[in-house]
Chains A and B, each alone.
Chain A
C-alpha cells in the first residue's frame, strides 16, 4: 500500500448511482483506491463495469453520488465549476481514444493549449523534452487534419504532458490505432512514467496495453475485484477470463 502523502489521486467510498429503486444502477459501488505518484496504473474490466465512470469522476468531469475524490491534497467535491476547470487545466492531463485535438489549432498550439488557457508561460526546456520524446519536431506547424492517426495521438500525449500535471488520465488511448502505432504510444507512455516521472492512469480493455502498466486494477459491477502488480499480458488475460466467467 502506498502512503497517502505520495498519492497523486484517490477515491474513498465512491458511489455513483443512476436511477431509483427498481431501475437503480450502481456504476460505482463503494470504490476506494489510491494512485501513487510516478506510477502507471491500468484500470480494466468488462463493459459496464464502471471503469470509465471511475476515471471521469477521478478527473473531475463527473461527480459522485457519495464518497470523495482527491487530486493531490484537493477534495474535488468542495470545488465549483470554475475551480474544477482550473484543477483540470493545471493538475490533470487527458488522452482520449479519438477526437483528441482541436482541428483549427496546429500541433504545437494543441500541445500548449492547457498552458495557454491559463496564461502559464511555457517551460521551453520541458516542452523540447516532450516534443523530442514523441518525435514530432518536424510536424509542429501542421494542423491535425495533416497528421496520421498515430501522430495525432502522439500530439495528444504531448499535450497531456506539457503542463506537467499531477496525473494523466488516458481513456483507451490505443483503441483507434493499429498495433504498431499502439505499441509506439504505449512505449512512449511507459517512458513518460519511468524516465520523466509522470503519473498515468489508463482505462483499457486490451491486456497487452495493460501489461505496460506497473499495476492493474480490475473492476466488475462497480467494485474493485482484483489487482495485479507488474503484470504480463498473459496474467491479465487470465484474470479477465476469470472475471468474465
Chain B
C-alpha cells in the first residue's frame, strides 16, 4: 500500500516543484529565525563563557562585599578596602591575593573623539605578569608608573594608536594623558570581548580611577596542595563583617550568567519574530496546498476512481507537505547559521568585538527547527488534505461535482466563535494581567492568534464585496480603472475565489495588524512622553554620556559644574537599588536644593528641598499602594544591608524624569561607598547670564569629559524621542519580514492562479489583449488583494493598539493617538506590495504561448 502512495507523493512534489518553491521559501524564512536564534545564542554564550572561564582560570577564591538582596551578578557592590588584601594574604595556604579594580574609563581616539564600544569601557589595575585575572601582554610591556598605560589590542587599533603614542583617557576624576607602553589581551584573545580595557599599575589605577584605596574585590590563589575549602573557611573567619568568600568558578558563572541573560533576551526577541513569520507562513502553506488540491481535482478523483482510498489520498497530500517541510527545514537551519553569522557581523561592524567563535548547531537547534518547520507545514496542509480526501470518484468525469466546502453559515459561526474567544483571551491578558509579564504576553499572544484566525475565516465572507468596493474606490484618484478591461478582469478575478483571496490577504493582515498595533501604542507613548517632557523639564542644559554608552558620567563632572558662576542650580541624577518595605525598587538620588528648579515633578504635598534633610519623595501611585502621607516613615533596606527608617518628605504627580522614588544625594552617599556615576546632570542658567555664555562655560568643562554630551532643552527632548524612534525602527524592521512573507504569499497565489487560467489568458491574447494589458489585469488583482489585507490589518490592529494603550499605566500614557499618517503609509505600501507581488506572475502570464494555451487537440 505504501509504495504507490510514496511514489505518487514524490512524483507530485517533483511535478509541482516550481509551484511549491515559494512555499519552501516561506518555511525557510521562519525556520531560519528559529535556528538563527538558537545558533546565535549558543555560539555567543559559548564564546563569552570561554572568555570568563579563561579570565578566572587562575582565581581559586574571590573575596567581595555581600549584598542584602537582589541579583548577585549585576549588583553594584560596595568596594573592599585595600587593607583587607593584606589580611587575606597573611592566611595560611594563600599563595597570592591581589586587588581587582575595574572602573569606567573612556579611551579618546587619536582624532579626539571618544572610542565607542559595544561593551563597557574599563580602566583596570594591572597586577603583574603572574596576575590572576587572565590578562596578558601581547606586545610591549605592562604599564609602570603614573604616566603609562596599556590598551587591549583591538581597542588600540580601532582608536588609531600604536605602542609609543600618547593616549588620552577619561577616568572618573577627569582626563589624563598616558604613554602607551604595551598592548594587552584577555586569555587567548587580543580584545576585551567588546569592552575596551586600559590597564594601569595599581598605584596609578587607585589614583586615576578615583578608587580611594578601595578595590572591587580580591582575587586569591592558593598554595599547591592546599585544601580550598579550608582556606575559604579561614579567610571567612578573618574577614570583617559585610564581606563574603566565593569560589572562582562561582564568580565566573555569575558574571557570564548575567551576560547570558542579555543574550537570551535577544534570542527570545528573534524567536518572537520567528513565531510571527511562521504564523504568516502557515497561511501561505495552507493556501498553496488548497490551490494545488483544487487544481488536481480531476487527478485526485481519478485516483479515487481507480481504487485509492480516501486515506491514501490524505496520506499523499500530507506526504507532499512532509517532503516540502523537510527540504525547507534543512535549508532553514543552514539559513539560520547565516542569520547568526550575519547578526554577529553586523554587530562587529557597528563596533562590537564578539569573540570569534565557530557556530554551534546543537541538537536542540536541529530538533526545535525541525519540530517547528515540519509541524507548521504539515499542520497547515491538514485541512487541504482532508478536503482532497472528500473528492467523490465521479468528479474524474464531472469536475463540477468537486468539493462540498464548509457551508457559509458554518464558516460564519466558527469564525465568530474563534474571533470571540480570541478577543476575550486578549482582553484578559492585556487588562487582567494575570501571572506577571509572561502571563500577560502569553495570554494576549494566544488571544491575538485566535483573533487573527477568526478574522481570516470571517474575511472569506466579505472578500468578494470588499474587493468590489476596493476596485471602485481605489482608482478614483486615477482614471476609472474599472471601466477598462484589465481593471474589470482584475477586479472580477479578485472576487472569483473569495476563500483564496481571503487567506492570501490574511497573511498580509497579520503583519500589518501588528504594525498598526505597534504604531498606535508607539505614537501614544511618544505623544504622551513629549507632552510630559514639555511639562516637566525646566532645566536649561542636560549633560549625559553620549548615545551608545550606557555607563554613567563621572561624578566629578557635576561637581565641576556646580562651581560655575554661570549656573544657578545643578543636580546630578543617580540611581540605586533598595528594598522598600521588602519590595525591590530603583531609587533616584538628586540634589534637593537644585532639582526643584530643573524638573517640575508636580509636587502635591511636602517640599523637594526636604530631600537634603534625608527625607524621601515618592510618586502618588506608590504613595497610594503603601498608604503613606508626608510625615509617615518607610523602611528602606539598601543593597549593602544598611536599613533605614526614612520620613516621607513629599508626594508628586509627574514621574516622567524622576521615576517613582527620590532621595537626596547625601542620603545615598551616607549608605553606599560604591563608586557612583550619574545618569545625567541638569543645570539652570543663573539670572542675567546669556545662554551662549553659559553653554560655552559648560562645554569648556565638558572638554575634560569627551564622552559627555551637552544638550539644551530642545536637544534633550529630541534625543529622548530619538531613542524611542530607534526602538521602533527595529520593531518595524523585523515586522517587515512578516510582510515580505505575505508578499511571497500573494505572489504565490497569483502564480498558481495564472497557471490555472492559462486557457483564459490564451483566449484573451487571441482576441487581441496586449501583453501590457494582461500584466495590468494581474497587477490590479494583486493590488486589490493587498489592499484588502491591509484594510483588515488596520481594522484589527488599531483597536488592539487602543486596548494596549488603555491598559498601560496612566503615568505612561496621557494622550492616545491614532497615527493617521502611518495608516496612509500602510495603505500606500500595500499597493506597492501588490504591484511587487504581481511582477513574477504577470511576467509569466505574458510569456504564455498563446497557441499552447488555446489548443484543445
Contacts and interface: CB of A to CB of B under 8 A. Distances in A.
Do A and B truly interact?
yes
B764 A102 contact: yes
Nearest to A163: B768
B760 A117 contact: no
Nearest to A101: B763
A121 interface: no
Interface stretch (A85-93, A129-137, A235-243): A85-93
Contact of A96 (B488, B489, B763, B769): B763
B851 A62 contact: yes
Nearest to B857: A52
A81 B773 CA distance: 13
Contacts of B767: 88-89, 93-94, 113-114, 117, 159
B489 A103 contact: no
Contact of B768 (A56, A86, A97, A105): A86
B323 to A, nearest CB: 33
A226 to B, nearest CB: 22
B493 A90 contact: no
Interface string B448-492: 000000000000000000000000000000000000110011001
Nearest to B491: A104
A92 B765 CA distance: 12
B496 interface: yes
A109 B491 CA distance: 14
Interface string B746-785: 0000000000000110011111111101000000000000
A102 B763 contact: yes
Nearest to B760: A102
B850 interface: yes
A128 interface: no
Contacts of B766: 59, 61, 88, 94, 96
B856 A105 contact: no
Contacts of A81: 771
A105 B771 contact: no
Interface string B703-741: 000000000000000000000000000000000000000
A104 B496 contact: yes
Interface in B799-857: 850-851, 854-857
Interface residues of B, number: 26
Contacts of A116: 484-485
A61 B763 contact: no
Interface string A62-100: 100000000000000000011001101110111011111
Contacts of A59: 766
Nearest to A119: B484
B768 A88 contact: yes
Contacts of A117: 485, 767-770, 773
A97 B856 contact: yes
A99 B492 contact: no
Given A61-B850, A62-B851, A85 B771 contact: yes
Contacts of B857: 47, 52
A104 B768 contact: no
Nearest to A56: B851
Nearest to B495: A104
Nearest to B767: A114
Nearest to B761: A102
B770 A82 contact: yes
Nearest to A53: B851
Contact of B856 (A86, A93, A99): A99
A118 interface: yes
A94 B818 CA distance: 55
A89 B766 CA distance: 8
B851 A99 contact: no
A105 B769 contact: no
B492 to A, nearest CB: 3
A73 B296 CA distance: 46
B851 A104 contact: no
Interface in B490-516: 492-493, 495-496
A146 B300 CA distance: 26
Given A98-B856, A100-B763, A90 B489 contact: no
Contacts of B485: 113, 116-117
Nearest to B772: A82
Contacts of A99: 759-760, 763, 854, 856
B760 A105 contact: no
A3 B773 CA distance: 38
Contacts of A103: 496, 760
A47 B857 CA distance: 10
Given A96-B854, A104-B492, A105-B488, A85 B760 contact: no
A176 to B, nearest CB: 9
Given A99-B759, A101-B763, A118-B768, 16 more contacts: A52-B855, A82-B771, A85-B769, A86-B768, A88-B767, A96-B766, A96-B854, A96-B856, A99-B760, A102-B489, A102-B763, A103-B496, A104-B496, A113-B767, A117-B485, A117-B767
Listed from nearest, the 3 A-B pairs whose CB atoms lie closest are A89-B768, A104-B492, A88-B768
Interface of B: 484-485, 488-489, 492-493, 495-496, 759-760, 763-771, 773, 850-851, 854-857
5 contacts: A59-B766, A88-B767, A88-B768, A103-B496, A117-B770
